[in-house]
A and B are shown apart, each in its own frame.
Chain A
């Protein structure tokens, strides 16, 4: 089954403790992206990657890092999480090129205390 898989689905942690949210897709998509979803603000892009070893900042990249060492994986790294990063995070992927809809994972809910 074609899917985007995120782990963990839920995480409660404390300020400053490094964490990684993994994202994996099995559709051989070139393009991958991370979004955060907050009430009243909708979905905002954090980082994206057009292919292996190619990443770029989205609209809200502060406090986050990403890497793209393999085509199928695109982890989101919070080196020193803070409470304002408490949010619902979505990974998405698509074929690269014009007019390609993105396919989303089921989300990771992070709570930073």
Chain B
């Protein structure tokens, strides 16, 4: 079956620095990838997505990179702010998504002042 793993459960960065959160997946048939942000006491919030026919997508202060060769996904957050402190999950979908999303276990991003 599918598995999704994150390289680090916790990432601590200085305010203003860039953050990079990584995710590895096992199923090469996965074709849609999403990053979610979960703040304390709330549900996962959609940040950005990318389809398997792309290798990079940019949003506001965020960039997602997809390397299908090594089955690796990353989320880059530019100029990290205190409000970025949260748990970040990668999630993937395979074959249209009837089975829903498979989630990684999350990386807790901690912002140091």
Question: Which residues of A are interface residues toward B (Cβ below 8 A)?
Answer: 4, 31, 33, 35, 40-45, 48, 50, 56, 58, 90, 92, 97-107
Contact = CB atoms under 8 A, between A and B. Distances in A.
A106 B96 contact: no
A100 B97 CA distance: 8
Contacts of A48: 98-100
Interface residues of B, number: 25
B88 interface: no
Nearest to B101: A102
A68 to B, nearest CB: 14
B94 to A, nearest CB: 11
Contact of B41 (A50, A97, A105, A106): A106
A48 to B, nearest CB: 5
Nearest to B105: A42
13 contacts: A40-B105, A42-B105, A45-B101, A58-B100, A97-B96, A98-B96, A98-B97, A99-B97, A101-B34, A102-B46, A104-B43, A104-B44, A106-B41
